[in-house]
Structure 1
C-alpha cells in the first residue's frame, strides 16, 4: 500500500490535479490555472499530498508580510476525503509559514459554505471578519447627476486618508485589513504610498480609494475610506469614472457593514459575504 506524502508541488502535478478540481464549484475551479502562477511566486509555497503516482490534495501558502501568511486553494480529491488529508496539509503549510516568521495565518471561505467553515473551525481557526464582494457594472448604469470623476490623489493626501480610514467603521469591521485580490493582510500607510507611485490612489469629495486595473476593462479595489453618508456618492463617482474609461466591471472587496452593503445594493451590486478566518502561530 502506498504511503501518503506531502511535498512541494511541481508543474508536472497540474494535469494530475485538473481532472478532479474541474467541478469543485458550480462555476468550476481556478486552482489548476493558478498553480503555475503560484510556483513562480517567491513568497508562495505550494504543497501537494501524493499517494503513489496520484495527487490527492493541494494547498498554497503565501507570505503576505514578514509576519502574515495566507492559505488558499485547499483541495482534497473527492474519493479521498475524510482521511485527514486536509488537516495534514493545513498543518504542514502552517509549519512552513511559522518557519518563515509568520505569527498569524488567514484564509477565506464563502459564508454559505458550511462544510468548509466547520472544517477550518475544527482546525483551530476563528472567524475574525466578514467582507462583501460586489461588482459594479459602470457601462450598464445610467449616469447620476452630480457624480464626480475620481481624481488622482497626491501623496499629500496619504496622512488624511489613512487617519480617516483608521478611525472609521470600515477599518474596525475589516480588522484593519486590506484585500489584495483574494488575499487579505494588515493594511499599512505604505499601501497608500505604493498606490500613489503606481497611480492607483484616487480621491473624490466622498473619500479615497485604491483602484487599479486587473484586466483592460476590469478594475479592482480592496481598500477605501469613506463614511456612511458619503459612501453612495463614492460608488457613483467610481461608476462615473468607469464609464468614461470604458470599464465593464469594478470588483470591490470591502468590510461588511450595514451601511456599506446598503450603498452597494443601491448602486446595483449584489454583495456576497466572505468570511475571513485566522489562527495564531
Structure 2
C-alpha cells in the first residue's frame, strides 16, 4: 500500500478528511495542515489530516476510510503514518477531539494508544440586530502584547485551564497555552482583558472574528467580567455583520444570556472529548 503526504489541498482527493468535520471548523483553523493518504493500486482508500499546533504538539483530525475497505486496519495505519510525520517535524505529543457521543471513534482512538485528557462544550447563540442588553460591570479593553505574560499567568491559574489540563483551543485545535501564543494574539487584537488599567489582570478572553461567527476559544474571570467580555466580542461581531457567537467552555460552566438562548453545536451536541498520546 502506498503512502503519500503533502500540504493539504482541500477537495483534491477522493476521500477528503475535511468532510468528517464541520466545514466551518476548517475555516477556523489557525495553522495549515498536511494530508496523509493511503492508496492501493493508485486508488485512495484512506486519508487523514495532521497539523503542528506548536513546536512540539501535533493535532490529528478527519480520519476517513473508504466504506468498502473498512475493518482492514487502514484507519490504524493512517494514524500511525500521521504520527510518524508529526515526529519528523519535532512533535512529542499528538491530540485530537472526538464528539462525546461517537463511541466507535473513541474506541478506535483508545486502541491506537490515545487517552482522555479533558472535555469541552461548544455552544453558540444568535446575535440580533438590536442593542445587546448586558451589564458591563468590568473595565474591558484590548490587551497589549507586553501584557502577555501576566495574562497567561492569570489564565493558567483560572478555572477554565485547570479544567482543560492547561490546554486552550485556537480554532478548535487544543494546544498548551504559552506566552508567545498570547503575545501573538494580542498583536492581532484578539485578546481582551479586564481590570483597572494600572491594576492586575482580573479576566481575559481569546477570540477570533470569522465570516460566519465570532469564536471565543477561552474566557476566564469573575462572572461579571466574563459577561462583559462576551458582550464586547458580540458587539465587535455585529459591527462586522456577523450574527453568531460560538464559545468553547469546560463542562457545566454557565454562560450569561446575551440576545438569545445558548444551544449546543450540532456536530458535538454532548461536547468534545480531547484525547492525547505521547509520541
Aligned partners of 1:185, 1:113: CA distance in 2, in Å?
22
Mapped partners of 2:68, 2:232: distance in 1:
49
Q: Which residue of 2 aligns with 1:207?
A: 203
**Equivalent position to 1:198, from 171, 175, 188:** 188
Distance 1:156 1:93, change over 3 A: closer
Compute the RMSD of aligned alpha carbons: 3.3
Q: TM-score, normalised by structure 2?
A: 0.80
What is the DSSP-based 3-state SS (H/G/I as helix, E as strand, rest coil) of the residue aligned with 1:163? helix
- CA–CA separation in structure 2 for the residues paired with 1:147 and 1:244: 18
**Aligned counterpart for 2:276 among listed residues 267, 275, 278:** 278
Whether 1:219 aligns to 2:214 is: yes
- Pairing 1:182–2:172 present: yes
The equivalent position to 1:128 in structure 2, one of 96, 117, 122, is: 117
Q: Distance in 1 between matches of 2:148 and 2:10?
A: 45
1:161 alignment partner in structure 2 = 151
Deviations 1:139-194 (A, max 9, x none): 26862253379532234543432222111111111111121212111111112211
1:203 shift after superposition: 2.8
Matches within 5 A, 1:59-208: 59-139=48-128, 143-147=132-136, 150-204=140-194, 207-208=203-204
Q: Distance in 2 between matches of 1:186 and 1:7?
A: 29
After TM superposition, what 4+ stretches of structure 1 lie above 4 angstroms from structure 2? 9-13, 264-267
Aligned length: 263
Distance (Å, rounded) in 2 between the aligned partners of 1:280 and 1:21:
25
Gaps (5+ residues) in structure 2? Answer: 196-201
Q: Are 1:5 and 2:2 matched, yes or no?
A: yes
Offset, 1:113: 0.7
Give 1 or 2: higher helix fraction.
Answer: 1
Equivalents in 2 of 1:278, 1:236: separation in Å? 33
Task: Please tell me whether residue 263 in structure 1 is matched to residue 262 in structure 2.
Answer: no
Residue pair 1:69, 1:105 contacting (<8 A) in 2 also: yes
Rounded Cα–Cα distance in structure 1 between residues aligned with 2:148 and 2:262: 28
Determine if contact 2:140/2:228 at 8 Å carries over to the other structure: no
* Residues 1:52 and 1:12: Cα distance change in structure 2 (over 3 Å): farther
Native 8 Å contact 2:213 2:243 kept in 1 = yes
1:21 positional shift: 8.0
Matched with 2:39 is: 50
| Matching of residues 4-43 of structure 1 within 5 Å | 4-8=1-5, 14-17=12-15, 30=23, 41=32
Q: Distance in 1 between matches of 2:241 and 2:136?
A: 17
Q: Specify whether residues 193 and 58 from structure 1 end up closer, same or farther in structure 2 by C-alpha distance, changes over 3 A only.
A: same
